[in-house]
Amino acid sequence: SSVSTLGVHESVGEVFPAAVFCDALSAVDPSVQIVGGEGSAGSRGDGENDELAACDALVTFAYEDRFLDADLTWIHSIQAGVDRFPFDALADRNIALTNSTGIHGDVVGETAVGMMLSFARRLHTHRSNQERGEWRKPAWNDAFPLRRESACVVGLGTLGTGIATRASALGMDVTGVKRTPTPVDGVDEVYPPADLREAIGDARFVALAVPLTDDTEGMVSAPELDAMREDAYLINVARGPVVDQGALVDALDSGAVAGAGLDVFETEPLPAESSLWDREEVILTPHAAGFNVEYYERVATIVRENLRRLAAGESLTNRVV
Ligand code: NAD
């Protein structure tokens, strides 16, 4: 049934200003109002002050348990990954959950392949030297061309194909891992998850693009890192717990792998005491691979489409629960 009041949770401000997002929805039928986060003035549940109670649908970045007890019929996550949401509890209460997959393939693909370019062309080292005012050329055998290097992309959805097509465009040999190992454009060979170690064993770059699920948690642990080439780089733009971070630190220490490009971590923000901060062959980004000036408009497009579908009695797109 159609939505009368759509809430925009202030946590969307982690990614774009809530007011800018509301402007992008100015032409929709429901009234759109910003909902304060837990502990804010509007979240006390005291009658007219309870912003959430006025909404029958909510667009949000954060998850809060009080969402379950509001009168929501639909929650939209502005992230593609919805691992923070309790699927069973939402289903029990008939609250639909939709995510924002489908919109990050280009930007996250650019970030992941940008990390590959940086490792190959030593841009990260040059930038570090620049900060110290040092003019220093790389060793003769440090830098390498990306062309004909190999990348294995684990998970071939929106992000994975975004990475694969860009790696392929740079002349790399691309393989991938997919639950149903059917052919994918730009990917030379597709392996099933059971053959993960074989799939990643020959790759100079292993890029992770799977959602965090029971199946993918710890998917890359010590045995997988051992299976990788010693000159290989691990790129994780998926979710931190897909990698056993302690095992990765050990692999970096022992030289089992050459380096890592990491946008996501077991704990975010990455704690100051993490030894990952201080490594030459680690490029860290603060879970920002999807950040771009169009983010709000891309999410608004999904939300507008689902408002239309609800009004027309059609099923939701990007539905997870
Ligand atoms: P998607 O649903 O389009 O793609 C995920 C793919 O992974 C699907 O094709 C699915 O079949 C596959 N998959 C699931 N389990 C698998 C397994 N065990 N082995 C191999 N493949 C498996 O989602 P997406 O938009 O590509 O996003 C993927 C994930 O990346 C999200 O769930 C999110 O956690 C993360 N993400 C991170 C950022 C960022 O800013 N770093 C941005 C967007 C998404």
164-176 pLDDT, tens digit per residue, is 999 999 999 999 9
Mean model confidence pLDDT for the chain: 96
Ligand 1 geometric centre to CA of 56 (Å): 28
Check whether 316 has a pLDDT greater than 80. Answer: yes
Distance, in Å, from the CA atom of 63 to the CA atom of 92, rounded to the nearest integer, reads 17
- In the sheet that holds 282-284, the strands lie side by side as 189-191, 173-177, 150-154, 205-208, 233-236, 259-262, 282-284
* Alpha helices, H only, the chain: 18-24, 66-69, 87-92, 105-121, 123-131, 158-169, 196-200, 222-227, 245-254, 295-311
Model pTM greater than 0.90? yes
Q: What are the tens digits of pLDDT across the range 250-262?
A: 999 999 999 999 9
Please tell me the residue having the least CA distance from ligand 1 atom 30: 238
Check whether 41 has a pLDDT greater than 90. Answer: no
Ligand 1 geometric centre to CA of 160 (Å): 7
Token couple for 251: 């692999």
With bands split at pLDDT 50, 70 and 90, how would you rate the model's confidence at 39? confident
Query: Does the bond joining 86 to the residue before it have cis omega, within 30 degrees of 0?
Result: no
Q: Which atom of ligand 1 is nearest to the CA of 104?
A: 43
Binding pocket residue ranges, ligand 1, CB within 6 Å: 80-81, 101, 104, 108, 155-160, 177-179, 193, 209-213, 215-216, 237-239, 263-264, 287, 289-290
With bands split at pLDDT 50, 70 and 90, how would you rate the model's confidence at 49? low
Question: Is the distance from CB of 47 to CB of 61 less than 8 angstroms?
Answer: no
Please tell me the residue having the least CA distance from ligand 1 atom 35: 238
The residues carrying an active-site annotation are 239, 268, 287
ipTM for this prediction: 0.99
Check whether 48 has a pLDDT greater than 90. Answer: no
Ligand 1 geometric centre to CA of 27 (Å): 31
Residues 308-316: what's their mean pLDDT? Answer: 97
Q: What are the tens digits of pLDDT across the range 224-255?
A: 999 999 999 999 999 999 999 999 999 999 99
Question: What share of the chain in percent tops pLDDT 70?
Answer: 98
Token couple for 219: 């998917």
Mutate which of 83, 84, 104, 159 for ligand 1 pocket (most atoms within 8 A of beta carbon): 159
Amino acid at 274: S
With bands split at pLDDT 50, 70 and 90, how would you rate the model's confidence at 63? very high
Distance, in Å, from the CA atom of 107 to the CA atom of 113, rounded to the nearest integer, reads 10
- In the sheet that holds 5-9, the strands lie side by side as 31-35, 5-9, 57-60, 74-77, 96-98
**List of residues 6+ apart from 269 with CB closer than 8 A:** 286
Amino acid at 226: D
pLDDT value of residue 198: 98
Ligand 1 geometric centre to CA of 210 (Å): 3
Question: Is the distance from CB of 150 to CB of 204 less than 8 angstroms?
Answer: yes
pLDDT value of residue 47: 63
With bands split at pLDDT 50, 70 and 90, how would you rate the model's confidence at 43? confident
